[in-house]
Structure 1
Amino acid sequence: MRLLLGIGGSDDSWHALTQTAERAAEAGDSLTVAILDNPDTEMSPDEIESKVERTLSEYDLEPDIRHLEGDPGAMLVEEGDGGEYDQIVIGGGERSPMGKIRVGQVAEFVVLNAETSVTLVR
């Protein structure tokens, strides 16, 4: 399976990275990591890329890493729907105190607009 993982540097994106790396290593999936613009993180794109590389080396994965500039949701959908991928993976979502799922703005955009299957890791 060809996976596209969107990473913006948030805590949920790191959780999604770990979950996706475990699955890709176990299943032999092809993994591409898209580093997204995220104004809510203090990490630079280069710092995010370094952390991605360190994490994936623990799973003996050497993914294709791409930097997507612009609106993160739109860019991830555009990249994912380009025909190369079987699935888009993105972190996001948490439970509210009432037990409802709250999905981040980027994750919501991707889930609602992608033609490619989307897995939301929470």
Structure 2
Amino acid sequence: MSDHRVAAVPVPVPVAVHEPPYYAVVFTSLRTEGDGGYGETAERMGELVREIPGFLGEDSAREPGGLGITVAYFRDLAGIEAWRTHTEHRAAKAYGREHWYERYSLHIAKVERSHGFERTHG
């Protein structure tokens, strides 16, 4: 029997429910082929956005065919604007339009109701 230990892969969980009102920024994209540094940049953007005042979290999924959806939650429009105008984020967006995306759409919605569910075991 092997004594090799396998590192646990974190199970993604939805962003916690927050007290409304707050905002959801929905970014839906279709990627080009290849990575071209996308993974590293996405990781960096994730680090940076967590520093934005009012950022509440994000949920993200991508299917093998390239379609991805990321929903970022912000307490207020000021946080969204701070992220939109962040220098490094602006550079990544410009690079993305040139190299990573076939197309994308962005929607900003005000969340007026929010609730969640979590199964209890025991």
TM-score, normalised via structure 2 length: 0.32
**Higher strand content, 1 or 2:** 2
TM-score, normalised via structure 1 length: 0.32
* Greater RCO structure (CA 8 Å; 6+ sep): 2
Compare CA radii of gyration and give the structure with the larger one.
Answer: 2
